[in-house]
Structure 1
Amino acid sequence: MTVSEEINLIIGSLALLVGLLMFWTFPIIKTTEKNGQLFPLLSIIIPARNEAGRISPLLRSLQEQHYQSFEVLIVDDHSTDQTANIARSFGAKVLQNKAVDSGSGKSTACWHGAQHAKGQWLLFLDADTSFTDADSLFKILGFYHRKGARGILSLQPYHTVHRLYENLSAIFNVIVFVGMNVFTIWGSAFKAAGSFGPSIVCNKKDYFLAGGHHKILGAVMDDLALGQAFMDNNLPVYCMGGSGVITFRMYPEGLKSLVEGWCKSFAVGSKSTHPVVMAMIILWITGGFMSTAALISSIMVFNISGMASSGLLYAAYALQTLRLARRCGNFNRWIFLFYPLLFLFFSAIHLYSLFRAHVLHSVSWKGRKIDV
């Protein structure tokens, strides 16, 4: 075995250990309370822009919830499709977000909805989310209640995959969790990067105290900025996995939508990740490439011992990547046999997002040009 092959194996093995440490914990909601407990009136606020093809599962799952003490406010953000009519057909109240700006429309829509909310508690949901079962809402509110009903409870939904190209989101999902800083072996030793955006629970008093979405109108990553606004006011922010409670399907429109969506997210999102966590992410991805290089090199020279050791490392990396990604979504297990392609796609989109952010100073999303 050559020196370069040994170096590749050593770095790959070290990176495998780092992968274990960087995504050490994965808290999800588990309830021990009996259904039927009463909570304050809840206002569910759903910003929606051209979501006619995706919003029905969410509204249907809301109708199926055992806990029904809530109002549903759909904030129509300049939709040109049937979003508003579909929302009304499910009995939701539709508000029109008439504000026009050059930035992200989601924050203005959420702020508009919060101003019209009657509930003491607020639940902001992305239109592509839906609840896993009829007790999901009860579980979420029960957990928030047990935490003292202060600050933010944010959940990253479980990603459901239907088409082959959607598996390209696997590594992005892992990094979304790890990049929040609170899922490493050190737990809360690092400050949270913010909050997850698709599902956010807070009480109205804390929301307006922190300035709500009005304070972050210019932010591209509204979820991270909102969480930071709460923390700036010494309010807690809880980040958890939504597995077993809430789910979503990301970018079903096609590969172009997937690229635009992740480019927008990673253009500025990585700035909030702690340097130590970022270093771990970089080492983990680098180790994946180096373990692949070691295997290819040993095969090319037909080194039996090299093929055995590098093959074991490659298999271990594939299993670890599978394990981490399956926490986040139902990604196809067989795709992880080719995990270097997933790493390569992630790296390419991340580099493209940096180019958009630091050279072009803009990203595109849903027909809008968003200044970065």
Structure 2
Amino acid sequence: MLISILLLILFVLSFIGFLRIINFYYFQKDLKYNKRKPKSISIIIPARNEEKRIEKLLRSIPKVEILEEVLVVDDNSTDNTESISRKYGAKVLKVMDFYLEKGGKSIACYVGAINSKGEYLLFIDADVFFEDSAFKYILENIPEEGALTIMPYHQTEKFYEQFSLYSNLIALLGIEIGKFSNPLGVGNGYFGPFFLIKREDYFKVGGHKSVEDSIIEDIMLGKKLVRAGIKIYSIPHKKLIKFRMYPEGLKSLFMGWAKNMASGATNTSLFCVMIITSILSLSFIIPTKLAEGIINLNALSIALYSLLYMIYSTALYICARSIGSFGFLTCLLFPIFSSFYFAIFFSSVVIKLFKLRINWRGRLIKVK
């Protein structure tokens, strides 16, 4: 009886999480907040060894009058990031010209901000790229008050990239989008790959410089903004804003997610933690109980957990296809992909607990 009640609670919490994702991506067509058209926007791209990604981004940025400038902030790259950026007309700033002993994404973003001219600042990761009508969509939905963040559609090309499914799902849930009371409001940080903010609001809280020591700058800066009364909104990507993460291989994908996962988990609300824990718990409990039923030849157990398996897989797929190019087979084999997520998470906990350094983009990063 107790197990049945626990299972019911886990299912209810899990489906609250799934419904938040579905609500955000499938039902938020009328963006209910006051909008405005800015006078000018400065695009700021922090970049370290991004020669394999940044060209696609720069090619996809349209030449429209409202875009004041494209600033690529080179964080001591050792590849052709600088020359590729200049080739596409971007202005290149070097972090070392402003901070000799410091580097990292936060410092690069701040260097871009203090050297920008636009009324609005748009921070974009180098692995993002835009479809043709993306900027029309963005410019039509800039909030009159507050900041705008978008989680790009995760474009995958190789099979190993499917292992990012749960990491993406948890990231979306952790930032608390899709709540029925405020579906477009972001309750916990913002999405680092795409963040648009009014210049005065950015500097009001000290910008990225105020969170330079944090590896989860998107969460920490987002919280500072909310505490200062600056709302953060998010809108669906509509497959117009995309990114491809970790094309270098499975090791890069693993370490890319592991470097900040545990830190992000400790900065998530209790209710969100309960939702995320429920989704992950069911990904283990359902296949385990199904396997037990098969081993014990228990027809009732096999029927029940087969049904629950298909319900979970289907709900996961409905969410997954809106997040990125994740296939139904991936969702059907969810125990494999959730196990990979657990491996990343526990590695992240060990890295954080023992304050280990990891090699990221040719630089040793200490996870605090």
The TM-score normalised by the length of structure 2 is 0.90
Q: Deviations over 1:259-307 (max 9, x none)?
A: 1111112031111210111012112211221111111011112222221
1:53–1:285 Cα change, 3 Å: same
1:243–1:363 Cα change, 3 Å: farther
Q: Give the paired residue count.
A: 357
Give 1:242 deviation, angstroms.
2.2
* Aligned residue runs from structure 1 range 281-320, under 5 A: 281-320=276-315
Give 1:346 deviation, angstroms.
0.7
Inter-partner Cα distance in structure 1 for 2:221 and 2:139: 20
Question: 1:151–1:203: 8 Å Cα contact kept in structure 2?
Answer: yes
* Aligned residue runs from structure 1 range 245-260, under 5 A: 245-260=240-255
Query: What percent identity do the matched residue pairs reach?
Result: 34
Inter-partner Cα distance in structure 2 for 1:241 and 1:190: 12
Q: What is the aligned partner in structure 2 of residue 138 from structure 1?
A: 136
One-letter code aligned to 1:96: K
* Aligned residue runs from structure 1 range 171-210, under 5 A: 171-185=166-180, 187=182, 192-210=187-205
One-letter code aligned to 2:88: F
1:31–1:70 Cα change, 3 Å: farther
Q: What is the aligned partner in structure 2 of residue 244 from structure 1?
A: 239
* Aligned residue runs from structure 1 range 137-176, under 5 A: 137-144=135-142, 147-148=143-144, 150-176=145-171
Inter-partner Cα distance in structure 1 for 2:29 and 2:179: 20
Inter-partner Cα distance in structure 1 for 2:69 and 2:61: 10
Give 1:191 deviation, angstroms.
7.6
Q: Deviations over 1:316-337 (max 9, x none)?
A: 1111111222221111221222
Inter-partner Cα distance in structure 2 for 1:165 and 1:332: 12
Question: 2:186–2:232: 8 Å Cα contact kept in structure 1?
Answer: no
1:363–1:243 Cα change, 3 Å: farther
Inter-partner Cα distance in structure 1 for 2:178 and 2:267: 14
One-letter code aligned to 2:129: S
**Higher alpha-carbon deviation: 106-115 or 301-310:** 301-310
* Aligned residue runs from structure 1 range 259-298, under 5 A: 259-298=254-293
Inter-partner Cα distance in structure 2 for 1:352 and 1:228: 26
Q: What is the aligned partner in structure 1 of residue 119 from structure 2?
A: 120
2:92 is the counterpart of 1:97: no
One-letter code aligned to 1:111: Y
Q: What is the aligned partner in structure 2 of residue 368 from structure 1?
A: 363
Higher relative contact order (CA 8 A, sep 6+): 1
Inter-partner Cα distance in structure 2 for 1:140 and 1:31: 14
Give 1:12 deviation, angstroms.
4.4
Q: What is the aligned partner in structure 1 of residue 219 from structure 2?
A: 224
Inter-partner Cα distance in structure 2 for 1:329 and 1:100: 39
The TM-score normalised by the length of structure 1 is 0.89
Inter-partner Cα distance in structure 2 for 1:264 and 1:136: 30
Q: Which residue, 13, 17, 20 being the options, matches 1:22?
A: 17
Give runs of ≥4 in structure 1 deviating > 6 Å.
188-191
